[in-house]
Amino acid sequence: MSQIVSILKYEEGYRDVPFIDTLGYPTLAGGIKIGPEGASLASYIFKLPQQVGDLWMQTLIEGKIFDLKKRVPVAAALCQCNAPRADMLYSMAYQPGVKGLAGFKETLNSIAKGDFSSAADSMLNSLWARQTPARARRQAAVMRSGACESYRGLI
């Protein structure tokens, strides 16, 4: 059973007011970009209750999963994944986007072949891993093992 919402809530955290993320985008709730890079927060003066933010996140995830299944390399990888491994791909699609995940060609090819150890190594050898090293280590561990041990006690 998927735990993607719990995983993303842990990884992204929650802020009920807009903030500028580490890449310079106005962002809200659980890492939801709400404006273009460099935009001023002066245009974003509101609070978003967590219940609404969680529903928004779930809706975004469902859309991303639908889009992922239309991309042949990602769909081939997902066919080899149990629920925890699929959640890692969903999480990666949430963070750098569907297009960003599709750029992990070596990772996706390794997963499609059932070589989860090589996939995990490839995940760790990426710009994404350099930008979010703790998250990448947790998610690569899940990809390697097929179990969510790296999230035990966190979600």
The CB density around residue 78, as the number of other CB atoms within 10 Å, is 19
Q: For residue range 68-91, what is the model confidence (pLDDT) as tens digits?
A: 999 999 999 999 999 999 999 999
Residue 23 confidence (pLDDT): 87
Residue linked to tokens 């190594």: 121
Residue linked to tokens 């891993």: 129
On average, the pLDDT of the chain sits at 94
Give CA 72 to chain center in angstroms.
19
Residue 30 confidence (pLDDT): 92
Domain parsing of the chain, residue ranges:
4-151
The CB density around residue 70, as the number of other CB atoms within 10 Å, is 9
Mean pLDDT (whole number) for 7-15: 93
Per DSSP, the three-state class of 26 is: strand
Q: For residue range 32-61, what is the model confidence (pLDDT) as tens digits?
A: 999 999 999 998 999 999 999 999 999 999
Share of the chain above pLDDT 70, in %: 99
Share of the chain above pLDDT 90, in %: 88
| Cβ atoms of 64 and 98 closer than 8 Å | yes
Between 152 and 130, residue with greater pLDDT: 130
Q: How far is CA 151 from CA 118, 127, 147, in A?
A: 21, 22, 9
Give CA 100 to chain center in angstroms.
10
Return d(Cα 38, Cα 122) in angstroms, integer. Answer: 31
Angle at the Cα of 65 from the Cα atoms of 13 and 20, rounded to 5 degrees: 30
Structural fold of domain 4-151: Lysozyme (1.10.530)
Reported pTM: 0.89
